[in-house]
Amino acid sequence: MNLPVPAAGNSRVRSSFTRIYVYGLVLLFILSWGYVLFGGDSGLASLTSGKTWSNAGGFLRELAGIGSGATPAYLQMDQWVEKGKLAYHTLAMSVLAMIFAVAGVALTFLPAARNMGNGELGGTPSRLWTVLYYLVRGTFILTRAIPELVWALIIIFFLSPGILPGALALGLHNYGVLGKLSAEVVENLDPRPTRALRAAGSSNFQMLFYGIIPQALPQFLTYMLYRWEVVIRTTVVVGFVSAGGLGREFRLSLSFFHYSEVALIIFWYLLLVVAVDLLSAWLRRLARFD
């Protein structure tokens, strides 16, 4: 019987390469777990002790607002309104972050596509495109490799706390992520329509408007909306340091042991996440133009 298993490497060289990568992974796995468990206090002892778990039970009870004596936050209307306002700010922060990221990508995605610079799409190849390619790709990698939270830690050195620095930090990281994805969309485009445009006498810019953008836009929008779903989850975390939205309140409530408020904040947070997921799914359906 013919089983559709993946074909083994067709040359000895290739399969030995594969073996190196696979053995490398196994080695990395062993060393990492070795380091985590025996390189210092892993926390295994405390995680397996009964006292830790009774503490955890106490924490959960306090989240639920049981036994602390005071009225739990979810029974106070003004708490609901206050946290709701923060959720509104958090949503705005995520949208603003997406706008920063998308604006940046819109300005720079083109030279980051290799088939633009080498003339595969029908454009005129030039040294300048090649230089720009490496420049923009380098920026993508740098902004993508640094997590949003670290960007936020850096940005609050310059900007006043609020929505803006958080949105900027989120935007910076997602600029790198979306930039890479968008460049790949262009690299995977069918080159024939743009080449035909070229033959009909279009310049590089005309090719962008008539060939590349119409073909790539649905995919761009889909990626953007998927990314928004990630961003809304991260917005809270960036808020820890940039002092905007639910994140800051979450941190404050935790350090003041106002645990029932923490529960309320998490509730609003989940509400935001679900709302954005649904909204994004709906918009993605709209973005499929045909």
Closest to other proteins by CB, 71 or 138: 138
Closest to other proteins by CB, 75 or 192: 192
Contact indicator for 64, 260 with CB cutoff of 8 Å: yes
41-50 as b/e: b if 16+ CB within 10 A? eeeeeeeeee
Place of tokens 């909204």: 279
CB of 92 to other proteins, least distance (A): 4
Contact indicator for 158, 228 with CB cutoff of 8 Å: no
Closest to other proteins by CB, 45 or 77: 45
Residue 29, token pair as written in the block: 């796995």
CB of 210 to other proteins, least distance (A): 6
Contact indicator for 191, 120 with CB cutoff of 8 Å: yes
Closest to other proteins by CB, 77 or 96: 96
CB of 105 to other proteins, least distance (A): 14
Q: In whole angstroms, what is the distance from residue 95 CA to residue 275 CA?
A: 13
In 3D, which of 96, 231, 100 has the Cα closest to residue 163?
96
CB of 61 to other proteins, least distance (A): 11
CB of 40 to other proteins, least distance (A): 7
Closest to other proteins by CB, 61 or 131: 61
Q: In whole angstroms, what is the distance from residue 246 CA to residue 268 CA?
A: 9
